[in-house]
Structure 1
């Protein structure tokens, strides 16, 4: 059974890029969210195996969404996605329970390596 992934990013183009990388490599993108609030709701609804989460988003940022998802499911597997120059936020994300992070712009092999590592 293919692994189920929730893609969270406020930029449609970024969601499309990740979705494309994942589906071409046998992952099942079960949902998308445009902000942290939606991410938490979709996580509860879909119970994905993994979440790719942008850090900077409107409504609720990725770090707050990560904390809420981890409070619902302490075993949640979340890979953070951030632009260059957000090192401090990446550290916050790892401390909040993110399993890994990928830097934008995405390199397909780096995204896949991260996801394989996190899913074991």
Structure 2
């Protein structure tokens, strides 16, 4: 069974696209959030197994959100930036890993969370 998922991104178009792609790949998307505060609330209310979390949000960074919720959900950070532009130590401190938005698929997401789901 595929894990439940929360998608956090400030762009409606990306959230819609990610929902379609990840639902088609078997994920159950239980919610969406457009900023950090809404993400923290959604994790507390929806209890997603996995949270796909954009690094750049309007009210706080994805790293700040991840540090608040990473004990309650498996966090996978995402960005349109290259993984070369993201500090791997910071990613590892608050999340299961990182997936570039251009590379997002159910397979890529599962590859990051596989060791933590189950």
Q: Which TM-score applies when normalising by structure 2?
A: 0.83
CA displacement at 1:60 relative to structure 2 = 1.5
Counterpart of 2:86 in structure 1 is 87
Q: Deviations over 1:70-105 (max 9, x none)?
A: 3xxx252010002225322x431221x200110122
Structure 2: tracts of 5 or more residues without a match: none
CA displacement at 1:106 relative to structure 2 = 2.9
User: Are 1:58 and 2:75 matched, yes or no?
Assistant: no
Contact 2:53 2:75 in 1 (8 A): yes
- Runs of 4+ deviating beyond 3 Å: 115-118
Any idea what SS the aligned residue of 2:103 has? Answer: coil
Any idea what SS the aligned residue of 1:119 has? Answer: coil
Distance 1:76 1:66 in 2: 9
Q: Indicate the RMSD between aligned Cα atoms, in angstroms.
A: 1.9
